[in-house]
């Protein structure tokens, strides 16, 4: 089983701790949006590597392939058009894909044991075999990434090419990128690279340049460099994403209150039985039951 | 209001299940990483046939070249050791598998006779013979042996030869040797930069 290569750090709907104890370097993708030329090689590399069927393109008035990612199209370059206050036009290209959050909202929301797992290298992966198609992960995701297939009623998204990464290769999109806009490595190394690139952008006049690694989800495995870092909404990214409060409550305290209610209910009933004995049915009720039974 | 024991049991257990929804599941779940689909495929180096950049590619075929294996292409991606692209490919080059594994790919010679609107299937021998005959005919009619001043030029300008982007220096040397030195064809062009 290849799964032995990567141990599991977190698993959906599991009350027992995940089995992994070995450490592994946390991997990440760095997307330097200022270096993207919108060639879409990453889109095609993703389709080719994952053997996904061709998806019909949709013309929405820009060069964008389609409005949004789909169950069989996990990596979409968004062609955002942005005008700054001085009237200058900027094309803010962004790679829309699973962000591989360190604290994944999808995993927290998922009620199916083992349908969403997080490996010790940080990759968040959906196991469609265990998916029950409830769609809670879609609601739990702050980036609107998981998509449900109409045919299979399962949810799909970018796997960060976990099959390649587990044997030591880079993801398919990273390899294809012809402008070095996409880089792959350990998160530690990439964050250093991101820092120096941001400094470079600031010297070049993009004073708001910043790294997008939102703390609301404890950082992401897909880190972006944004030239207009103070305005991530212009790229279609939420300003301060976090796991929804409802999911936190429901999967945190509420789950345990529920569990205590189940166990407490059974124990309480048993104690009540010990104290008061079996239920005494009045004679006229017995007669009624006999009538109903007849 | 009095609560019966039965009602108490119903409310606590069903209510508990409702709030925690499957949260008490102790099924041991495990995950399996997908196997690497090119783990033991045969790797063959080649050059992308599209533009003049000439990116290196690796073609992955089923099996290890054993005598009993009929290879089929399962994946094509960039060659990380190639100096031109170092593994990268463009959106067109990365689709090369579909160029080969494609039911609309032409694998036989198609011939459309002059004035006809129908394509006919022909043999390779037919195609090569016909090209040779027409080339000879054109050369016999149009070869210029000398210009107006009587200088020897031996130029055939009514025929051109186009090479491809995957042609190496050696192939291009042979192209010049065969067509310019051999047949006197002046217009020779190709887009190879490798």
Smallest Cβ–Cβ distance between A258 and the set B19, B29, B36 belongs to: B19
Residue A90 β-bridge partners: A82
Q: Give the pLDDT of residue B193.
A: 67
Cβ–Cβ < 8 Å for B22, A13: yes
A274, closest residue in chain B (CA to CA): B5
Is A255 in the B-facing interface, judged by CB distances under 8 Å? yes
Q: Give the pLDDT of residue B194.
A: 58
Both B115 and B129 in one domain: the answer is yes
A268, closest residue in chain B (CA to CA): B9
Q: Which residues of B touch A111 (CB under 8 A)?
A: 21-23
Tell me how many residue pairs between chain A and chain B have CB atoms under 8 A apart. 165
Count of domains for chain B: 3
- Find the domain containing B184 and state its range: 143-194
Q: Which of A137-146, B69-78, B127-136, B160-169 has the lowest mean pLDDT?
A: B160-169
Both B131 and B96 in one domain: the answer is no
Residue A245 CA, chain-centre distance (Å), reads: 16
Structure tokens at A24: 């592994």
The full set of domain ranges for chain A reads 2-243, 252-293
Tell me, yes or no, whether B115 lies in a domain. Answer: yes
The answer to whether the Cβ–Cβ distance between B4 and A279 falls below 8 Å is: yes
Both B147 and B176 in one domain: the answer is yes
Both B119 and B74 in one domain: the answer is no
Q: Give the pLDDT of residue A3.
A: 45
Both B151 and B191 in one domain: the answer is yes
For tokens 């991997």, name the residue: A27
Beta carbons within 8 Å of A70's beta carbon, 6+ residues apart: A55, A147
Tell me, yes or no, whether B187 lies in a domain. Answer: yes
**Residue B141 backbone zone (phi > 0: left; psi -120 to 50: alpha; other: beta):** alpha
Dihedral angle computed from the Cα positions of residues A234, A235, A240 and A246, in that order, rounded to the nearest 10 degrees: 110
Residue A11 β-bridge partners: A117
CATH code, B84: 3.30.200.210
Angle between helices A253-276 and B5-20 (to 10 degrees): 160
What stretches of chain B show up as alpha helix (H) in DSSP? Answer: 5-20, 96-100, 124-142, 169-175
Both B184 and B169 in one domain: the answer is yes
Both B170 and B129 in one domain: the answer is no
CATH number assigned to the domain covering A2-243: 3.30.70.20
Q: Give the pLDDT of residue A41.
A: 96
Tell which of A45, A129, A165, A246 to mutate to test the B interface (max B CBs under 10 Å). Answer: A45
Tell me, yes or no, whether B33 lies in a domain. Answer: no
Q: Give the pLDDT of residue A276.
A: 87
Condensed to tens digits (0 to 9), the pLDDT of residues A135-165 reads 999 999 999 999 999 999 999 999 999 999 9
Q: For chain A, list residues with pLDDT below 70.
A: 1-5, 293-294
Condensed to tens digits (0 to 9), the pLDDT of residues A65-107 reads 999 999 999 999 999 999 988 899 999 999 999 999 999 999 9
Cα–Cα distance for residue pair A251/A245, rounded to 1 Å = 10
Helix (H) / strand (E) element for A77: namely strand A76-83
Both B116 and B149 in one domain: the answer is no
């Amino acid at each position: 089983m290849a799964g032995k290569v990567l141990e599991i750090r977190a698993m959906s709907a599991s009350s027992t701790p995940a089995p992994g104890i070995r450490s592994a370097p946390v991997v990440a993708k760095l997307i330097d949006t200022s270096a993207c030329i919108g060639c879409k090689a990453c889109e095609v590399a993703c389709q080719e590597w994952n053997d996904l069927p061709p998806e019909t393109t949709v013309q929405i008035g820009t060069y964008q392939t389609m409005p949004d990612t789909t169950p069989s199209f996990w990596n979409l370059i968004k062609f955002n058009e942005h005008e700054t206050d001085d009237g200058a036009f900027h094309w803010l290209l962004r790679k829309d894909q699973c962000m591989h959050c360190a604290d994944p909202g999808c995993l927290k929301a998922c009620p199916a044991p083992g349908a969403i797992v997080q490996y010790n290298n940080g990759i968040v992966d959906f196991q469609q075999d265990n998916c029950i198609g409830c769609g809670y992960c879609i609601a739990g995701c702050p980036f609107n990434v998981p998509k449900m297939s109409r045919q299979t009623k399962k949810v799909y998204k970018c796997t960060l090419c976990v099959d390649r990464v587990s044997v030591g290769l880079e993801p398919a999109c990273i390899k294809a990128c012809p402008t070095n806009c996409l880089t792959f490595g350990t998160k530690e190394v990439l964050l250093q690279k991101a820092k120096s690139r941001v400094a470079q952008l600031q010297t070049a006049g993009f004073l708001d340049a910043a790294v997008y690694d939102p703390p609301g989800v404890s950082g992401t495995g897909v880190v972006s460099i944004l030239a207009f870092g103070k305005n991530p909404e212009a790229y279609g990214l939420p300003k301060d994403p976090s796991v929804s409060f409802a999911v936190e409550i429901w999967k945190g305290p509420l789950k345990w209150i529920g569990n205590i209610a189940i166990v407490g209910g059974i124990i309480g009933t048993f104690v009540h039985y010990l104290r008061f004995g079996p239920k005494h049915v009045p004679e006229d009720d017995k007669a009624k039951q006999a009538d109903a039974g007849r | 209001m009095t609560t019966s024991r039965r009602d108490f049991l119903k409310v606590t257990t069903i209510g508990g299940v409702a709030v925690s929804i499957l949260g008490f599941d102790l099924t041991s779940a495990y995950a399996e990483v997908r196997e690497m689909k090119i783990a033991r495929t045969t790797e063959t180096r080649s050059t992308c046939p599209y533009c003049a950049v000439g990116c290196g590619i690796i073609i992955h075929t089923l099996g290890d070249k054993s005598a009993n294996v009929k290879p089929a292409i399962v994946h094509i991606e960039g060659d990380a050791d190639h100096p031109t692209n170092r593994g990268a490919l463009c959106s067109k080059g990365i689709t090369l598998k579909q160029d080969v594994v494609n039911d609309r790919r032409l694998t036989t010679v198609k011939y459309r006779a002059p004035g006809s609107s129908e394509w006919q299937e022909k043999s390779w021998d037919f195609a090569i013979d016909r090209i040779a005959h027409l080339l000879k005919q054109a050369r016999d009619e149009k070869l210029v042996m000398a210009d107006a001043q009587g200088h020897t030029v031996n130029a055939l300008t009514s025929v051109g030869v186009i090479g491809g982007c995957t042609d190496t220096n050696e192939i291009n040397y042979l192209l010049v040797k065969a067509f310019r030195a051999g047949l006197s064809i002046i217009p020779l062009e190709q887009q190879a930069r490798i």
